[in-house]
Each structure stands twice: as C-alpha cells, then as structure tokens.
Amino acid sequence: MSTESALRIVWVYPDLLSTYGDRGNLLILAQRARLRGVPVQTEEVRTDQAIPTGADVYLLAGGEDAPQTLAAERMLADGGLRRAVEHGAIVFAVCAGYQLVGSTFAARGRQYAGLDLYDLSSDRGPSRAVGELAGPVDPELALPLLTGFENHGGRTHLGPGVRPLATVSVGVGNDGQTEGAWTKGFIGTYAHGPALSRNPALADLVLRWATGRDSLEPLDDTWHDKLRNERLTALAARGKNVPPGRRQSGPVATS
C-alpha cells in the first residue's frame, strides 16, 4: 500500500545483505504495525537503486565479507542513508549491516570504511562466532532477554555515543561481554533468527520510536514465545547459563 501517512520501511540492499532469515525482520515489523492499525509501505531497495531519504525505518541485514564490502562502497557513494538518518530516520541493523554503520569494519584481510553513522567500529576476532546468542537487554530499554543466532568473524567496539544492547550470557556478540548497540533511533545487533521474530518486543520498540507512540496494544505472541522458549530450553539443556526472562510477552514497556 502507498499512502502519504503510511509508515515507510525500507530494506536496504536485500540482493547483497540477507542471511539466516533476515527478511523476516521486514515482515515482522510490517505485520506488527498493521495489526495495530498503522498503514505500512515496505520497499526493497536493491544495489542498483538509489536509497530513498524520506522513509521512517531502514533495515540492514547480514552478509558475507564480499557482498558486505560492495554494499559499503555503494552505500557510501549513494549517501541516502546518511541523509535519512540526519532527518531522524530509524535504523535497525543486523551483523554485516551493524558493522557497516560504524566507522570501519574488517573483511578479506583488511579494514574498510563504514558509513560512520554511529559511534562504533569493528575489526576481526580470533575465531568465528557461530551459534546461539542470548543475554539480558540494557535495563533502560525494559525489554525481555535477547535471543538469536550469530555467525560472524568480526568483533565490534562501542564508543560513548552508543550503549550496549545487551550483555552476553551465551555466545559472543560484540566481544564476548556485550552484544549489539543502541541509541535512540538505532539498534544494531549480531542476532539473526530473524532477530525480530525471536524478539518481538524489540520490533515493538522500533515501532514505538517510528510512530511516536508511548505504548502499543499487546498482540498474541504465542508463536514467538514458542520459538523463544524452544531455543532457550535447548540452551539450558546443554548446560548453558540462560538467565530468566524466557517469555517475551507481558505488559508492553513504555520506555
């Protein structure tokens, strides 16, 4: 649908950046908005298209090193995402997309310039981080435990302009201690799964920012909870230290 008042969600470069079900982030976000009566317009902007500057939310997904470097080159040349962020657009970025919005990232044996939109940078870690990722979210966001799947060689270092999204209980995330980053209007995470399916409260945070609403009507999250609980139960069964907070549903946070 396309109306003047619709919430515009843009997925940037799905032809280069899309791994482990990241498309689901677009579907979940759009559906959770529509279920609250918010009209939504979704757009998939491919590498050979200009990034529009007037959308409300921009999604960036994961990718292997080669497509990631190409995406960085195209995004820097395009400049549209920077202009959108300067106009207040919201960014939800996963893995390669998360690394790309920082100042630099490592791929194929060297450092590449990122978009430098947020105060973070990435280099290479001693080993690949592959597997489940879980941990409590920054209490300031009042969200349930973060869960996801990670697969990355990079490690991410945060500056004072952003806060860690979560602390790591299982997995590696940024550096084995913290996972992801956020500041008002931006969430970066290493969590695939897709992240917004495994963490629908995170989707609702993005929607609250995008709509300016303090709270959103609760939805039936039975299936999200089943998915979360299945993954977290599997971790607990493997002796992993999974903190409480399995169910994500409950009162919708207002922060």
- By CB under 6 A, name the binding residues for ligand GLN: 19, 62-65, 68, 95-96, 107, 151-154
Beta carbons within 10 angstroms of residue 160's beta carbon = 6
Minimum distance from residue 99 beta carbon to ligand GLN (Å): 6
CB of 40 to ligand GLN, least distance (A): 25
Residue pair 9/40 in contact (Cβ under 8 Å)? The answer is yes
How far is the C-alpha of 227 from the C-alpha of 118, rounded, in Å?
31
List CB contacts of 206: < 8 A, sequence separation 6 or more. Answer: 29, 57, 90, 92, 187, 196
Collapsing DSSP to helix, strand or coil, 70 comes out as helix
Residue with tokens 């007037």: 54
Which CB, 44 or 225, lies closer to ligand GLN?
44
CB of 18 to ligand GLN, least distance (A): 10
From residue 150, how far is each of 62, 73, 76 by CA, in Å?
A: 10, 24, 26
Looking at the Cβ atoms of 43 and 65, the one nearer to ligand GLN is 65
Residue closer to ligand GLN, measured from CB, 20 or 182: 20
128 a known binding residue? Answer: yes
Please state, in angstroms and rounded to a whole number, the distance separating the CA atoms of residues 49 and 81.
12
The rounded radius of gyration (Å) of the Cα atoms in the chain is 17
Shortest distance, CB of residue 66 to ligand GLN, whole angstroms? 9
Are 187 and 138 in contact by the 8 Å Cβ rule? The answer is no
Nearer to ligand GLN, 107 or 187 (CB): 107
Catalytic residue status for 87: no
6 or 70: whose CB is closer to ligand GLN? 70
The one catalytic residue among 87, 152, 157, 192: 192
The total of other beta-carbon atoms located within 10 Å of residue 250's CB is: 11
Measured between alpha carbons, how far is 190 from 181 in angstroms, rounded to an integer? Answer: 10
Catalytic residue among 87, 95, 152, 157: 95
Closest distance between ligand GLN and the C-beta of residue 62, in Å?
3
Residue number with the shortest CB distance to ligand GLN?
A: 62
Note if 152 is an active site residue. no
Residue 90's alpha-carbon distances to 3, 75, 186, 205, in angstroms, are 19, 16, 6, 11
Catalytic sites, residue numbers? 95, 192
Question: Which residues are part of a known binding site?
Answer: 128
Question: Which residues are part of a known binding site for substrate?
Answer: 128
